[in-house]
Amino acid sequence: MELWGGRFREAPNELAARFGASIDVDRRLYRQDIVGSMAHCRMLARQGIIDRSSAVTILDGLTAILAEIERGEFEFRVDREDVHANVEGRLRDIAGDVAGRLHTARSRNDQVALDTRLWSREAILDLVRGLVAFADALLDQAQSNMGVAMPGYTHLQRAQPVLLTHHLLAYVEMVRRDVDRLRDAYRRVDVSPLGAGALAGLPYPIDREAVARDLGFEAISRNSLDAVSDRDYVVEIVAACALGMVHLSRYCEEIILWSSTEFGFISLSDAFSTGSSIMPQKKNPDTAELIRGKAGRAIGSLTGLLVMLKGTPLAYNKDFQEDKSALFDAVDTFGASLAVLAPMTRSATFKRDRLIAAASENFSLATDYADFLAQRGVPFRRAHEVIGRLVARCLEQGCTLDSLSLDELRAFAPEFTSDALNIQIWSAIDARDVPGGTATGRVSAALIEARDAIRDVSVWIDEMAGRLPAAEGRLASDI
């Protein structure tokens, strides 16, 4: 409390001070805090709010502090409460009283909002990189398994045959929506709050636009009260992480099922599996199971964040200190899951013969028999009933639809012709020749389109990354 304790007549209670300290969480904002302070300092000097000599001293001190931290030599002190006070306190150790000029025309309220936004921009780009890597792994598997059929499911019951590539592309669609959500969140993150002060703006001739440009922001906040109290962007990022983790969990659930003996559709690499402490034959999909479990953690971060925010009046409240633990944990969880899931997917082996055989089992072509009748004038509901009775007959006799003769089919519906004997998984797949369908031509085109879309995302990442500020090489010469 040494930096802003002049109003108080007694030292803070030790338990209260430790309870209120956030340094164990927000210390990871050190680089953003220093970069933001450098930009603020340069603006103060350019505007004549502080003299150039003081600015140079401050900038040199901030550069030294950054080097100390990155060498692991910096002592983060609990008595200095948070990352902002730790950096400023160390700056005062180095530069003396001139360090106090840095906080001119700035509050911790707009400072922490700035730091969190700077960190969030980088975090979003890292997450989108992870999503691109996962999408690339899915697309490579989809490409190499283009000729493989598999059973599609509803209610976890075999329903109709589809291409394995089509199934994998469904997860690519989820990834693309996850990317869209993060890119959309980035647009709202990309706003500089610096200059809002504590809540009302500042009585100095500051240049907010110049600081925003210096830090690579697209815009500045429009309302000072909102600037320091807005945590919508944190909610959006955490929500995107939570939903993204739900998508990864759904994918991992299928991998877990498919790698079981009962399904036998996929074999995971040993490198992404574990054994049993007692059963030597076991090969467990623990990586996939852990990702499935961690989805609950991300959902919990979102729930906690929303509950924390719901009762807070304008403007800043100490409650907001809790936003960073939710943000960091959700981003870390999603990022780590993506990092391991991409190579796990890429190294997996799909059991093609088993998938193709399963595609035609359990009467998966029943709908195609019903469609055959409907295309010949039978009302679909009656065709549905006819095939239902045919399936019941097959179950009683232990046979399959494709084993029935034309006479046996015509005994249930005279509209059957000899063409019905040609119904099989590949004709069923390629009959779904509509946009978004599983027909081979449609899926081939969808694969190409998805690859192009993912490449476009990589271009966006590079563009946004090029706007991010650096601490090095932008000191006194930029004043």
Count other Cβ atoms within 10 Å, centred on residue 321. 18
d(CA 325, CA 332): 10
List the beta bridge partners of residue 154: 157
Cis peptide before 17 (omega within 30 of 0): no
Antiparallel, parallel or unpaired: β 219-220 and 191-192: parallel
Among residues 3, 233, 39, the alpha carbon closest in space to that of 117 is found at 233
Cβ-count burial 343-380 (b if 16+ within 10 Å, e if not): bbbeebebbeeebbebbbeebbbbbbbbbbbbeeebee
d(CA 123, CA 54): 33
Catalytically active residues, by annotation: 155, 276
Q: What is the 3-state secondary structure (H, E, C) of the chain?
A: CCCCCCCCCCCCCHHHHHHHCCHHHHHHHHHHHHHHHHHHHHHHHHCCCCCHHHHHHHHHHHHHHHHHHHCCCCCCCHHHCCHHHHHHHHHHHHHHHHHHHHHCCCCHHHHHHHHHHHHHHHHHHHHHHHHHHHHHHHHHHHHHCCCCEEEEEECCEEEEEEEHHHHHHHHHHHHHHHHHHHHHHHHHHCEECCCCCCCCCCCCCCCHHHHHHHCCCCEECCCHHHHHHCCHHHHHHHHHHHHHHHHHHHHHHHHHHHCCCCCCCEECCHHHCECCCCCCCCCECHHHHHHHHHHHHHHHHHHHHHHHHCCCCCCCCHHHHHHHHHHHHHHHHHHHHHHHHHHHHHCCEECHHHHHHHHCCCCCCHHHHHHHHHCCCCCHHHHHHHHHHHHHHHHHHCCCHHHCCHHHHHCCCCCCCHHHHHCCHHHHHHHCCCCCCCCHHHHHHHHHHHHHHHHHHHHHHHHHHCCCCCCCCCCHHHC
